[in-house]
């Protein structure tokens, strides 16, 4: 009679800050590269990215991506939009629900306005850091379907990033594997199976506020400029 070996269930992170410090340890081989830039997906990715940028001595900025939600079921993503603009669609959802191009364009226009509002609010007038020629670590607090991350990856490729690394504390195993062919490197600290939801892998998954994002970006900018 054979026995199937199973992996132990990983323990949740205490909070996003603790998760960021774990990732920073996995990314130490990048420390000292003058081209390094940490870009965090707001809001939840910013506390994670702040810890990585601090540990590696790299600048931190936000890269804003907005999910395109299905009308009436906004939690279901039909795609995502990133600055550029770059639109990535979940073709299976679009086909299954027969979502028209006009509907997609209307949702994308609305989310573009919100993306621009956040760009202004988070940076407080500071221009975005140009990713062209940089080694970019793209950070979020977790990967479920990967729709928003996929839009960010495509946009950063278009903007000329020299090397692109995804770093997330937790991810669905299949999603993490899918990105291995899309970026130069991916670090998923834990890949629980079953995954179910990002928030399950944090003891404290309270919402990151706009004010917290602004504060962390200001602190990071002061450290870099100083």
Average per-residue pLDDT for the chain: 91
- Please tell me the predicted confidence (pLDDT) of residue 226: 59
Mean pLDDT to the nearest integer, 45-67: 96
pLDDT above 90 for 192? yes
pLDDT above 70 for 6? no
What does pTM read for this prediction? Answer: 0.88
87 against 185, higher pLDDT: 185
Of 78-92, 149-163, 186-200, 208-222, the poorest mean pLDDT is in 78-92
Mean pLDDT to the nearest integer, 202-224: 94
**pLDDT, tens only, 63-118:** 999 889 999 988 788 888 887 678 888 888 899 999 999 999 999 999 999 888 88
- Please tell me the predicted confidence (pLDDT) of residue 7: 59
Q: Work out whether strand 73-82 and strand 60-62 pair parallel, antiparallel, or are unpaired.
A: unpaired
Residue written as token pair 């900018």: 221
Domain 16-65+126-225 has CATH 3.40.50.720: no
- Please tell me the predicted confidence (pLDDT) of residue 40: 97
Mean pLDDT to the nearest integer, 53-60: 97
Taking the C-alpha atoms of residue 35 and residue 125, their distance in angstroms, rounded to an integer, is 23
DSSP state of 43: T
Domain extents in the chain: 16-65+126-225
Measured CA distances, 88 to 65, 68, 130, 133, 153 (Å) = 11, 9, 22, 23, 10
Contact 131, 156 (CB under 8 A): yes
Taking the C-alpha atoms of residue 221 and residue 195, their distance in angstroms, rounded to an integer, is 35
pLDDT above 50 for 1? no
- Please tell me the predicted confidence (pLDDT) of residue 2: 43
- Please tell me the predicted confidence (pLDDT) of residue 174: 95
Taking the C-alpha atoms of residue 18 and residue 80, their distance in angstroms, rounded to an integer, is 28
Measured CA distances, 42 to 74, 174, 213 (Å) = 18, 23, 7
Residues in the chain, how many? 226
pLDDT above 60 for 5? no
- Please tell me the predicted confidence (pLDDT) of residue 173: 96
**pLDDT, tens only, 110-150:** 999 988 888 888 987 788 889 999 999 999 999 998 888 99
Nearest to 80 by CA among 145, 174, 159: 145
Backbone angles phi, psi at 78, to 5 degrees: -90, -10
- 20 falls in which pLDDT band (50, 70, 90)? very high
């Amino acid at each position: 009679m054979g026995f199937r070996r199973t992996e132990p269930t990983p323990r949740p992170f205490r909070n996003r800050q603790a998760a960021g410090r774990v990732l920073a340890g996995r990314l130490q081989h990048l420390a000292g590269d003058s081209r390094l830039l940490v870009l965090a997906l707001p809001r939840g990715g910013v506390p994670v990215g702040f810890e990585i940028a601090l540990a590696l001595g790299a600048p931190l900025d936000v890269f804003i991506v907005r999910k395109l939600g299905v009308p009436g079921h906004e939690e279901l993503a039909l795609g995502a939009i990133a600055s550029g603009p770059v639109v990535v669609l979940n073709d299976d959802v679009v086909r299954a629900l027969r979502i028209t191009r006009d509907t997609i364009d209307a949702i994308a226009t609305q989310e573009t306005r919100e993306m621009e509002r956040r760009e202004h609010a988070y940076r407080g007038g500071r221009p975005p850091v140009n990713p062209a020629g940089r080694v970019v670590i793209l950070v979020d607090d977790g990967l479920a379907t990967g729709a928003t991350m996929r839009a960010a990856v495509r946009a950063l490729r278009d903007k000329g990033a020299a090397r692109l690394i995804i770093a997330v504390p937790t991810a669905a195993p299949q999603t993490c594997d899918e990105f291995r062919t899309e970026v130069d490197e991916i670090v998923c600290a834990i890949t629980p199976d079953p995954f179910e939801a990002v928030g399950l892998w944090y003891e404290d998954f309270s919402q990151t506020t706009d004010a917290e994002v602004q504060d962390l970006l200001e602190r990071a900018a002061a450290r870099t400029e100083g």
